[in-house]
Amino acid sequence: MNERLRWDDLKVFLHVARASSLTAAARILKMDPATLSRRITRLEEDMNTRLFARSPQGYDLTDAGARLMIHVNEMDASLRHARGEVQDNGDHLTGTVRIGAPDGSANYLLPQVCAEICDENPGLEVQIVALSRVLNLSKREADMAITVSPPKAGRLTVQKISDYRLHLAATRDYLKNHPPIANTADLQNHRMIGYISDLIFADELDYMHEVGDLMKPSLSSNSFSVQLNLARSGAGVCIVHDFAIPAFPELKRILMDQVSLTRSFYLVRHADDRKVERLNRFADLLIPKIRAEVRALEANA
């Protein structure tokens, strides 16, 4: 094995392993895929072993690659720790923080909260990744993630942020022009909007069984924002986060005494980041601001 391993090659290895794709890693690194391929080949020659099993589906780590990944992840974490200390700007946060979140919180909570944090820390860049799945922090898809359920596996730290509430809602015009809804049985006569059942990525998002055993959405999406826009177009009845209601006065909550759901948000971070003071400080700002924003918006729903 060549003892003079190049960090640039290890960095390419890290991003290809995390993305399981040469093309995706090339986009992140802003490099040509052919260059990345040559770097991977050179690293494998230096290590005298195959690090990836290549297939049309992507790049999967071999056993040797998985063992190397443990050490390269630790090297990357050490570099990020060092960068956080070097970039320390006294009372202000600097650098980049990437947050993954379900699209409900990403669209209706994080924008105003993160804008406020950036106003307080002019040298800070915050990236919000809205996905209808849980981001993989072990692959460093984000520095931290907001989830609707605490993870049960992985080297992760979890902090509860806040409870939040959801209710059935529809536009005032829809309710005026369709049969009255006095109880959950009346919903059988209305078009329901919800999640695509086989694309629900967390049990906490499986709302329909709490509305009615036989209830099935006629219009569905893996995205809450799409569901909300369907409801806003007058397409039917949807379960909506209370914190989103103030932004859309055309929506009216219904059956609040019969269908009232409570869920929770959690902040999840990789365990290796506990020593990164910059991320600790960001989390200390983020959590209370989200709590306050949820309370304020729900009070105005």
How would residue 1 be classed by pLDDT, with cut points 50, 70 and 90? very low
How would residue 274 be classed by pLDDT, with cut points 50, 70 and 90? confident
By C-alpha distance, which of 163, 156, 113 is closest to 272? 156
CATH class of residue range 7-85: mainly alpha
Residue 55 exposed, middle or buried by CB count within 10 Å (0-12, 13-18, 19+): exposed
Same fold? 7-85, 91-162+264-299 = no
Identify the CATH assignment for 91-162+264-299 out of 1.10.287.3510, 3.20.20.140, 3.40.190.10, 3.40.50.800: 3.40.190.10
HSE-up of residue 179 (Cα within 13 Å, Cβ side): 10
pLDDT of residue 27: 87
pLDDT of residue 5: 66
Stretch 205-233: mean pLDDT: 86
HSE-up of residue 115 (Cα within 13 Å, Cβ side): 8
Q: What is the pLDDT of residues 101-155, one digit of tens each?
A: 999 999 999 999 999 999 999 889 999 998 766 666 666 678 899 999 888 877 8
How would residue 227 be classed by pLDDT, with cut points 50, 70 and 90? very high
pLDDT of residue 19: 83
pLDDT at residue 89 is higher than 80? no
Report yes or no: 19 and 31 within 8 Å, Cβ to Cβ: no
Identify the CATH assignment for 163-259 out of 3.40.50.300, 3.40.50.150, 3.40.190.10, 1.10.3470.10: 3.40.190.10
Report yes or no: 236 and 174 within 8 Å, Cβ to Cβ: yes
pLDDT at residue 30 is higher than 60? yes
Q: What is the pLDDT of residues 62-76, one digit of tens each?
A: 999 888 888 887 787
Stretch 207-225: mean pLDDT: 82
By C-alpha distance, which of 170, 167, 168, 183 is closest to 235? 170
Report yes or no: 138 and 154 within 8 Å, Cβ to Cβ: yes
pLDDT of residue 258: 93
For the chain, what is the mean pLDDT?
Answer: 87
Q: What is the pLDDT of residues 164-184, one digit of tens each?
A: 999 999 999 999 999 999 999
Return d(Cα 183, Cα 251) in angstroms, integer. 18
pLDDT at residue 187 is higher than 80? yes
HSE-up of residue 262 (Cα within 13 Å, Cβ side): 2
Query: And the tokens for 156?
Result: 């992760």
Q: What is the pTM of this model?
A: 0.74
Domain boundaries, the chain: 7-85, 91-162+264-299, 163-259
Report yes or no: 260 and 88 within 8 Å, Cβ to Cβ: no
Q: How many residues belong to the chain? A: 301
| Strand-strand pairing, 144-147 and 95-101 | parallel
Return d(Cα 20, Cα 62) in angstroms, integer. 12
pLDDT of residue 135: 64
pLDDT of residue 80: 65
pLDDT at residue 88 is higher than 60? no
| Positive or negative: CA dihedral 175, 177, 180, 181 | negative
